[in-house]
Chain A
């Protein structure tokens, strides 16, 4: 008898906690949870670049900036200024993240720069390009995961889509696509939690290492159609143009980054998308009737409310941006939130409107560090949203629960607290 493969993680209320509740995550990290857009409104009509930490300008508790950094801090606010900073990595580098992410994820693409970053990114670039996400990721992982999650949703008429669709889908897709079995995906993801005691983080690191070392050994002996098999066979180009195979710790750090980044951000962004459509039923109906609007819908929701409000860069040399002098050693806070609401770029930018023409924005960053997995993330959201529209008839908020609200850290990790809905299952 054929054994059915499980593609997804089945989350329960007990799993909400730090990992699947944006406010709890923010609380554990010591972040404020004010809505960013209410705080940013006063900056929209001001200068494009201001000296000072974004948190101070917004009037919120410090979240990113630490006095231990030394150097000055600048806030980059307008579309043009944020674009210039993203597209000039020689001046605005990513080594600022050495102090923030290396402890948890190790030396990864996030904190690398220049040739080292390019050569390391080139290893996996073919596996995240649109044609590969439309084909391999979708056919092999996304569709099956969505179908499995909807099997559970079809058996009832109400759900918390945040916990039962948005959270498990990307975690399941990136984990199983990488080669981590679905029944170990939650354990692996928990092991990568940023927030905990030193002992908890060491224990988590040991758990992640144990799982990945086992999988790498297995895949070297018996390659499968997954990313770990591709990584252990991949060539990494070196500075002198020669190549070598990826080392175990390099594969592990790649995996840590992809599972961490791919699981969390798409979860929250898909939740924001469903929340926005439920709060704008006329736009949900328009999308239901005209799926050619799908791409514009994803582009608009990521512009209107990106899950992360700001990214950081290190100022590598004295420079002038939009007339403001910055000293080498300063930190630049690139505010995606204000740039994506720039009055000179969009009409009525604070409104959610899926009928806008397609236009570039910064939800996934830009330049050489533009999100590696953005095409995968968009594809996951499109397939999931299509299933929501096809299979959850008469979709509406569940009046038995409090109204969903945006939650999480003001500058990072925003998303709905829950998405309690009622619906009529549509079969076929």
Chain B
């Protein structure tokens, strides 16, 4: 049986420049992103809360 989207494991993305980790389970409270927000649902103009790098500078870990 396939997992539903909601059941899929949360993923983490790491900033190439400072190592900050965006954890889907935790969200990003500094930017008003709620816990559970999937990477795909984050706006393209969101940036790293630590070093301000762009979303494109994050990689799946």
Binding site for B on A (CB under 8 A): 83, 86-87, 125-126, 128-131, 358-360, 364-368, 370, 372, 374-375
Task: Check A370 against B51 for contact (C-beta < 8 Å).
Answer: yes
| 4 additional A-B residue pairs with CB within 8 Å, beyond A126-B52, A366-B18, A374-B51 | A131-B47, A360-B17, A370-B19, A375-B52
B53 close to chain A: CB less than 8 A: yes
Contact of B47 among A83, A129, A370, A372 (CB under 8 A): A129
Q: Which of B15, B17, B50, B57 has the most CB of A within 10 A?
A: B17
Instruction: Enumerate chain A residues within 8 angstroms of B19, measured Cβ to Cβ.
Output: 83, 86-87, 360, 366-367, 370
Instruction: Name the residue of chain A whose CB is nearest to the CB of B52.
Output: A129
Interface residues on B, range: 10 to 19
Proximity string of chain B (43-55) to chain A, C-beta cutoff 8 Å, 1 when within and 0 when not: 0000100111110
> Contacts A86-B19, A360-B19, A366-B19; is A125 near B14 (CB within 8 Å)?
no
Instruction: Enumerate chain B residues within 8 angstroms of A358, measured Cβ to Cβ.
Output: 16
Instruction: Enumerate chain B residues within 8 angstroms of A360, measured Cβ to Cβ.
Output: 14-17, 19
- Which 5 residue pairs spanning A and B have beta carbons closest together? A129-B52, A370-B18, A366-B19, A370-B51, A360-B16
Interface of B is mostly: loop
Instruction: Name the residue of chain A whose CB is nearest to the CB of B14.
Output: A360
Q: How far is the CB of B3 from chain A (nearest CB, A)?
A: 30
Instruction: Enumerate chain B residues within 8 angstroms of A372, measured Cβ to Cβ.
Output: 51
Instruction: Enumerate chain B residues within 8 angstroms of A374, measured Cβ to Cβ.
Output: 17, 51
5 residue pairs A–B, Cβ–Cβ below 8 Å: A129-B53, A130-B52, A360-B19, A368-B50, A370-B17
Q: How far is the CB of B43 from chain A (nearest CB, A)?
A: 14
Distance A83 CA – B20 CA, assembled complex (angstroms): 11
Q: How far is the CB of A119 from chain B (nearest CB, A)?
A: 12
Task: Check A370 against B50 for contact (C-beta < 8 Å).
Answer: yes
Task: Check B52 against A128 for contact (C-beta < 8 Å).
Answer: yes
Q: Which of A358, A359, A368, A370 has the most CB of B within 10 A?
A: A370
Instruction: Enumerate chain A residues within 8 angstroms of B20, measured Cβ to Cβ.
Output: 367
Contact of B53 among A365, A367, A375 (CB under 8 A): A375
Instruction: Name the residue of chain A whose CB is nearest to the CB of B21.
Output: A87
Instruction: Enumerate chain B residues within 8 angstroms of A87, measured Cβ to Cβ.
Output: 19
Contact of B50 among A126, A128, A130, A367 (CB under 8 A): A367
Instruction: Enumerate chain A residues within 8 angstroms of B51, measured Cβ to Cβ.
Output: 370, 372, 374-375
Instruction: Name the residue of chain B whose CB is nearest to the CB of A122.
Output: B30
Instruction: Name the residue of chain A whose CB is nearest to the CB of B45.
Output: A131
Distance A125 CA – B51 CA, assembled complex (angstroms): 8
Distance A365 CA – B18 CA, assembled complex (angstroms): 7
Instruction: Enumerate chain A residues within 8 angstroms of B47, measured Cβ to Cβ.
Output: 129-131
Q: How far is the CB of B8 from chain A (nearest CB, A)?
A: 25
Distance A83 CA – B19 CA, assembled complex (angstroms): 8
Instruction: Enumerate chain B residues within 8 angstroms of A86, measured Cβ to Cβ.
Output: 19
Task: Check B17 against A125 for contact (C-beta < 8 Å).
Answer: no
Instruction: Name the residue of chain B whose CB is nearest to the CB of A86.
Output: B19
